[in-house]
Structures are given as C-alpha cells and as structure tokens.
A = this chain, B = another copy of it.
Amino acid sequence: METFIPYIPERQDKPRSKRLTMVMDKGLSIRQAEDFTEIGALYTDFLKLGFGTSVLTPNCIEKIEIYRKADIIPYFGGTMFEVFAVRNMFDEYVDYALRSGLSMVEVSDGSWEMDRKLKLGYIEKLATRFTVISEVGSKKKDVVYTPAQWVSMMKEELQAGSVKVIAEARESGTIGIYNDDGSVNDELIARISEEVGTDNVIWEAPEKSQQAWFIKHFGADVNLGNIAPAEIIPLETLRCGLRGDTFFQFLPPEIIR
C-alpha cells in the first residue's frame, strides 16, 4: 500500500534520539494497553504510568510487560517518585521500580518542591541503575520560575545524569510552559530551546493546539509528552502534515502556494 502514499517526513526507527513521544496511561486495562500498542507502538517511545496510578491498578506488572514487548519504554510518573521521596523512602522506591521490571525512572518535584541539591542527588544516584529523565516545573499556580531559572535547572539536571528533561504542563496543559488558558508561553519556550537545546527537552503538550504549535515551530521531530493514548495517531498525522493544522508544513516548496 505504501507506494500509493504521498511523501511524508521520514521517521527514524526506535530507539530514537529525537521525535520522541511520551504517552500517559492513567489506568488502562490489559486489553486497552494491547489495543494501544497495536496502533501506537510505531510512534511511541515512552509510556508513563501516570502519577500514582501504578500502585492502584491490579495489572501493572502485566501491562509493563505488554509495553516492553511492543518496544515502548514504560516508567512511573514523577509523582510516584515524589510520594516515596517525601516519606523518606528512596530505597523502597528503587526496589519498587526494579521489582516492577523498569529500566527508566522519572525524578520530578512538581508536587513537593525539594531542595535543588537533594533533587540532583537523586538523579545522580538513580542514573547509576536506571535511565533517568527529570521534570522541571511546578504543578502549582503560585510557584512560578523565571526563564533563567528554567534554563539553569534543566542544565543542572542534564549534567547530573538525566538523558532528557521534561517541561511540566500537567495532564491539563494549563501550567508550567503554558498560560492559564492553555496557550503557549512562547518567550519561555524560546529561551529553553535556545539555551538548553530542543533535542534535550520533552515538551508536555496534551492539547492538539499545543502539539501543532510545537510541530510548526520546531518541526516534525520535536519531542512531545503527556499524549493521551487515543491521540497517538492524530499526533502522528500532525507530525506528517496529514491534518489541517500542519497541512502545508511538510510540502515540497514548489507546491506551496
């Protein structure tokens, strides 16, 4: 069938260093996880078992196995880490992640603003046993960082061992790198992009308008996160110019009017 399809941007095979897509599972059943991998495996790099859902779903170990078999890297949402860390249960967290068969962990401080040294220490320690990603940005409206703070924190965390830093937006897409109405804080994003490097960042972008904005500004290969499972194919159409929002984005210049 491929011979009939118009040219669309090429996609690097997994494991990829860019065009990363992180999907959030908020409590799928086994069959729903299988359904997701059937349509989404090709386009999904990371699968976040969102916030503390992993301890409440009876099927977590089985789901982790399903995702791994589909060549998708599963990990616990950062809130799960914070739940253990705030209770001074770091070793128990390491045990929990290892026993669950995870190779990747997220370190965040969106709910519990921890001391910078403490956070960087966690990243360093975890990086000896896991692939680490870390998140910058608070989940709270009254905790606002300056662009310089965002940049500096992200650089420190990459330095400490994070392979990518995540820019916080919550599942709702109304905080961190976004304004209250979900619109993009473009000044902040420009600063992060220039000084931290777009390829080093995974932008949480749960809303279609946010995804389209990033693809228009940074191209098909921008790393995006907090994608709902049902939105994996619609996101890929945006990345390929197969939806109105990015229709003219990937056309050969001679046919753009």
Contact = CB atoms under 8 A, between A and B. Distances in A.
A247 B111 contact: yes
A38 B26 contact: no
A210 to B, nearest CB: 13
Interface residues on A, range: 35 or more
Contacts of A95: 4
A118 interface: no
A79 interface: yes
Interface string A160-204: 000000000010100000000000000000000000000000000
B58 A242 contact: no
Nearest to A51: B243
A35 B31 contact: yes
A28 B34 CA distance: 12
Contact of A237 (B38, B51, B84): B51
A82 B35 contact: no
A253 interface: no
A42 B27 contact: no
Shortest 5 CB-CB contacts between residues of A and residues of B: A52-B242, A27-B233, A29-B35, A139-B244, A111-B247
